[in-house]
Chains A and B, each alone.
Chain A
């Protein structure tokens, strides 16, 4: 008899949801579940969580991973490691990733209980129906083995788990439909003053992009953060917002702390710690346990025989021997880089799609100064966007994109508002002159963020290579990454959009890209600098038939019946929506399938 019914690798959002759902089984008996997390626990109590926040406030450099401690033996990639690559030189192994280029993969993640969703923004857009049929509709990429209709019910479960605030009427565009009488748990988060200002100019505005005319609409963004509960939720049962883990009276509404990335100080924004707080106590979670190998059975109906892992303590010498654990069902819920890394490091004959088709949303910013004060640096990072350009016939030709309006001035692009102070002071300003200089410019700052859909290319990939190992001797992720002309042409179309928007708003553009930027690319003679969006997708994609992908539509490995590869890696295409909501929806679908496997549904 195996040690456990289910072993889950990774205590991020996917592991949390699986542990919660599977842990609820009572008959014929509770399931024996073990979760192995490579990183540390960072928010078991409210005090521990607040420690992360204080650490962030006192840090000189504030990036997404700043509040979350990294373990020596389970390092996390950090955006501070990203450098411009030197073509033809040795790969850049400056950070945790080994970057083969030609462009650096500019995305981080968090290895800790709670995972990278500890520092997600909170955007919870559903995918549009055509996103599931990119190949059929536009001859690009691949289709998904499931449709929007297959996911609708699971989107509802995800929207409940993540506590989404939105209004159905705002979200029903480009063929997105909702079940009859469905409402989100909470009403939409109020839009920022900046949004209203932009909406006045943008709604109904006609723009020309690659020679075709479009009518614009600024849509409120659905968000996994607490707003006003909708009494009509669940056929009139209503909804009670969930507060912070360990302090459930805190964070019942978004308070506008304006630091969603990297940390919501009150946990009004969903994070997986909230789900962990609801996991049945008999579910075992072991942090600081790095799974190093999947061990396959030579024969028999259970192709995966065991997992091997190292239990470590920070500040102590590395463990010399791995432990072993066995289960009826194994779930790899690392992430789209840790999952394939583990499989590729485990030997055997991995499915040929594992590690391939790495995608992200290359993210380009453009920034400008409004003619008047629009109240910059207030509210969640983004509360509205242009969503209606996420689908169209142009996808035969170039990447679709979504555009977010960003409420945080130029903080991301120029280290404002501190850089504005320094510049003014170094120009000799002081006293009330300085104060009115700052007051007269900084509150007028805003920027736009563009997320482009990247196509699956086998050449964009995660792999392992001798000689590149971490402190436990486990292979590190090696990455080849590039951004093709499909994306770059999308960037060019977005430039047409922002030019027309800035003109209509009377805003003065200040966008500047430098050749020294790590993500500097050109298209049609014009420069763009992209950064990673943290939306890592595609490296163990799902498919309708074996041979086309690594997992079936339930995220079960085609070759190994008792192994699931769960998470964004299963998404065959990245489309334009921030992937967390869809990832959560897929997880609920997988949980049902695992319950079927175990005969407990």
Chain B
């Protein structure tokens, strides 16, 4: 639970959404499990520890920027953002795989239909996941609104 809370907190800071938004998708535990299965417990532990530290530091934004620039944790952190926005895992860069190992799960894949539906990008642009959650007849004629960052 502690791990999931750390993961949700780091994810919120990286995506610009509130933790309550992330919990609301039902994907926090799913993505954490996928992440551990893909890059291993040790990398995830280091990522979450670095995240916990960054979030309580005097300048969280700067600390998170440093985390994302880290050779080992940076590409993983960036993939976590993409995962949340799209519901899909994208392969880690070749340089990362050469240095830290290539997992069989490190392939382009949508985690599940539910994760696709939960992609944050659709909320970020004021739309709905393409192919799901249809907003209703004639809704497309209404002026667009983009919900602000939380």
Contacts and interface: CB of A to CB of B under 8 A. Distances in A.
A191 B140 CA distance: 8
A407 B141 CA distance: 11
A253 B144 CA distance: 21
A428 B65 CA distance: 8
Contact of B116 (A57, A253, A439): A57
A58 B136 contact: no
Contacts of A436: 16, 149
Q: Is the interface of A mostly helix, strand, loop or mixed?
A: loop
B122 interface: yes
B124 A439 contact: yes
A200 interface: no
Nearest to B13: A431
B120 to A, nearest CB: 8
A374 B131 contact: no
Nearest to B90: A422
Contact of B140 (A57, A60, A259, A379): A379
A91 interface: no
A408 interface: yes
Contacts of B130: 257-259, 377, 408, 411
A265 B132 contact: yes
Contacts of A439: 124-126, 146, 149
A474 B132 CA distance: 39
A421 B142 contact: no
Contacts of B14: 430-431
A58 B112 contact: yes
Interface stretch (B35-43, B79-87, B94-102): B79-87
Interface residues of A, number: 55
A512 to B, nearest CB: 22
Given A421-B121, A439-B125, A432 B149 contact: yes
Contacts of B144: 193, 373-375, 378, 443
Chain B interface size band reads 35 or more
Nearest to B16: A435
B140 A256 contact: yes
Interface in A367-394: 373-380, 383
B141 A58 contact: no
A368 B94 CA distance: 32
A233 B121 CA distance: 42
A376 B69 CA distance: 32
A120 B131 CA distance: 15
Contact of A431 (B16, B125, B139, B146): B16
Nearest to A257: B134
A393 B74 CA distance: 61
Contacts of A438: 85, 121, 124-125
B24 interface: no
B140 A433 contact: no
B68 A263 contact: no
B121 A417 contact: yes
A93 interface: no
B131 A263 contact: yes
A193 B81 CA distance: 30
B35 to A, nearest CB: 16
Given A193-B140, A411-B130, 13 more contacts: A193-B143, A193-B144, A254-B137, A256-B134, A378-B128, A379-B140, A379-B141, A380-B140, A417-B121, A426-B78, A430-B68, A431-B64, A439-B125
Interface string A163-206: 00000000000000000000000000011110010000000000
B125 A376 contact: yes
A57 B141 contact: no
B140 A418 contact: no
Interface of B: 13-17, 61, 64-65, 68-69, 78, 81-82, 85-86, 88, 90, 108-110, 112-113, 116-117, 121-122, 124-144, 146, 149
Pick from B17, B86, B121, B122 the residue with the most CB of A within 10 Å. B121
A469 interface: no
A54 interface: yes
Interface in A413-467: 417-418, 420-422, 425-426, 428, 430-436, 438-439, 442-443
A255 interface: yes
Nearest to B69: A428
Nearest to A253: B137
A375 B127 CA distance: 8
Given A190-B141, A193-B142, A255 B15 contact: no
B73 to A, nearest CB: 13
A266 B82 CA distance: 29
Given A192-B140, A383-B140, A421-B82, A434 B131 contact: no
A428 B142 CA distance: 34
Closest 7 CB pairs of A and B: A379-B140, A375-B144, A255-B134, A435-B16, A259-B131, A257-B134, A57-B113
Contacts of B122: 377, 417
A406 B41 CA distance: 45
Pick from B64, B117, B134 the residue with the most CB of A within 10 Å. B134
Contacts of B88: 60, 418
A59 B131 CA distance: 12
Given A377-B122, A432-B149, A425 B17 contact: no
Interface in A279-295: none
Contacts of B113: 54, 57-58
B125 A257 contact: no
